[in-house]
Structure 1
Amino acid sequence: MQLLVIRHALPLRSEPGEGADPNLSEDGIEQAKRLPDALARFPITRIVSSPQRRAIQTAQPVADALGLTIDIDERVAEYDYGLSHYVPIEEASEEDVQRLIAGHLPGNVDQDAFIARVNEGVADIVAGAGHEDTVALVCHGGVINALVHTIMQTERLLCVQVDYAGVTRLLSSRTGKLGVASVNGTEHVWDLLPRNQRW
């Protein structure tokens, strides 16, 4: 089976005390609207999402286009799930940017527990799919990095760049072992990514 792991589109910022579960921004809504066409070549049979709003709202246009429901799995929530606020990387402090570049999660996050939670959730998604199925999983940059880190045994947890609405393609063998086929496909949203709008 193949697993299309899609990072959520660009969300709004939330302030301390508002929780780390903001809605999509206007640009994020536009990014999400492009996903049905971008994914049309894949025979998607199931859509799974993190419980966080930015992931569900990103998955919704694909679900609407395919006439599928969105299954929620809390195990593929981001490491910030339950934290006090959310800051898009473009607005992050220099300290947070340097921490991410170094490949580390915030100090108050149990990295091993996070990786284990993500891998357990994805293992169940893979096990529940048929060999010919394609499942779309809409989640978060940290979740995608946890998967790539586990599969490729990278030195750092935060090992790959994952853009808003970027698509990472994983393939599962008949034994359930996952391999990375491609990382962070963004052609469909290239002009809507904040880092490209600055050029």
Structure 2
Amino acid sequence: MQLLLIRHAEPNNARSGNGLPVDPPLTEGGRRQAERLPDALAPYRITRLFSSPQQRAAQTAEPVAATRQLEVERVEDLAEYDYGLDHYLTIETAKNVASDAYDRIRAGELPDFVDAELFRTRVLRGLDHVVASCDHSDTAAIFVHGGVVNVVLQDLLGLPRPLMFPIEYTSVTRILVSRTGARRVASINETGHVRDTLRV
């Protein structure tokens, strides 16, 4: 089995102003990034599609779902650590308006409002659900978030901190699952298909 962990494309910033959760969509640039995914993923015999419940991940999956004529199964456990908050800031925005959180993320740590163990446990449970839902011959594309990809990599590689990789928009990270259930990392943060759209 092969799992393609795909980070969502570029989203908008959002703040509710009334304490209600926000769920921002992709920017126009993010939609253009997502539209490159069908060609980028053409070499893979994708048989299943999964997504975080958050709009930025689900919208990133749409071009692939349309091209492959596959349904997207949303998995709540694969939501990002900001799920349910009343605001969302891209990392570029956080650098200027939420410097403490930005500095923690750049140092490889989750923001201080996140219960790291609960988040990790939830994400790994979500990934276990995907694996259990698939046949061994399947290749599953899973549209998620930078924090989700990172905690999966932390678990598989035994890394000391949860956010060790700067996972880029629409990047592809490949995980192989053997018949015994053993998992190993095949590649991390493949970005050739959107390299010209990423901020340096």
Which TM-score tier does this pair reach, normalised by the shorter chain? over 0.9
1:72 aligns with 2:77: no
Could you tell me how far 1:130 is from its partner in structure 2?
1.5
2:148 equivalent to 1:143: yes
CA distance in 1, matches of 2:77, 2:46: 21
| Unpaired segments ≥5 residues, structure 1 | none
After superposition, residues 29-44 of structure 1 pair within 5 angstroms as 29-44=31-46
- How high is the TM-score relative to the length of structure 2? 0.94
1:147-186 matched pairs, under 5 angstroms: 147-186=152-191
Once the two structures are overlaid, the 10-residue window that deviates more, 169-178 or 47-56, is 169-178
RMSD between aligned residues: 1.1
Q: Which range moved further: 86-95 or 183-192?
A: 86-95
Q: Deviations over 1:14-60 (max 9, x none)?
A: 02536341000011000000000000100000000000000000000
Give 1:50-199 correspondences, 5 Å limit. 50-92=52-94, 93-195=98-200
Q: Is the 8 A contact 1:19 1:86 kept in 2?
A: no
Q: Which amino acid aligns with 2:70?
A: L
% identical aligned pairs: 49
Secondary structure of 2:131's match?
Answer: helix
Q: Does 1:48 align with 2:50?
A: yes
TM-score scaled by structure 1?
0.95
Amino acid at match of 1:36: P
Instruction: Please identify runs of 4+ aligned residues in structure 1 that moved more than 4 A.
Output: none
The answer (yes or no) to whether the contact 1:90–1:194 under 8 Å persists in 2 is no
Contact map agreement 2:147 2:163 (CA 8 A) in 1: yes
- Separation (CA, whole Å) in 1 of partners of 2:174 and 2:189: 8
AA matched with 2:43: R
**How far, CA to CA, are the matches of 1:177 and 1:161 in structure 2?**
25
What is the count of residue pairs matched by the alignment?
195
The farther-off stretch of 53-62 and 120-129 is: 120-129
